[in-house]
Structure formats: structure tokens, C-alpha cells
Amino acid sequence: AIKKVIKKFFPKLRKKKKSELSYAERGKISKIVQRKAKLITRMAKKLRIVVKKRDVERRKKMSQKDDTPKKSKKMLQRATIT
């Protein structure tokens, strides 16, 4: 959430990496974050819901893949030898 707020209110970060900014610009970023603390907490709550949904979907896909029978390397080698 902090990254999104910074990119919205500090457009220089879209073009540069954070490590390339001067100390004064980094100070501006920290002031922006402090001023927008309430906005960041609201965004974090919304993002948490989205991330949780993605995680549940990912885990469902993982469990579906695990249900299929797997052949071991030895079984595959035996099949190619005969």
C-alpha cells in the first residue's frame, strides 16, 4: 500500500529507482507517507482482501495438480527400456 501511495503522490519514482534519489527526495517520500498514514491503512485493508483471494485461488490450483497420479523417474525409465 505504501508503494502505491508513493507512486501516486511522488511521480519521480515511476522513472527512477529509490536508490537513485537524493536524500532530500527520500525525506519528501517519508513525509508523504506520514501525512497519508490513514489512506495507507485503508488501502492495506483492501489489498489484504485481494491478496487473500489470490492466495486461496493459487492453493486450489496447487491442490488440483496434486490429485493427479504422478509417475516416478524409475517408472518412466522402465517404460522406455522395454
User: In the chain, how many domains are there?
Assistant: 1
Q: How many angstroms separate the CA atoms of 32 and 2, rounded?
A: 10
User: From residue 54, how far is each of 5, 41, 44, 47, 61 by CA, in Å?
Assistant: 22, 20, 15, 11, 11
**Per-residue pLDDT tens for 44-81?**
898 899 989 999 999 998 888 765 556 566 666 666 66
Task: Give me the domain span that covers residue 74.
Answer: 2-81
**Per-residue pLDDT tens for 5-38?**
878 877 777 777 778 888 998 888 889 889 989 9
44 touches 3 (CB < 8 A): no
Strand, helix or coil at 63? Answer: helix
**pLDDT above 90 covers what percent of the chain?**
13
Task: Characterize 53-67 residue by residue with b for buried, 16 or more Cβ atoms within 10 angstroms of its Cβ, and e for exposed.
Answer: eeeeeeeeeeeeeee
Q: Considering the entire predicted model, what is its pTM?
A: 0.50
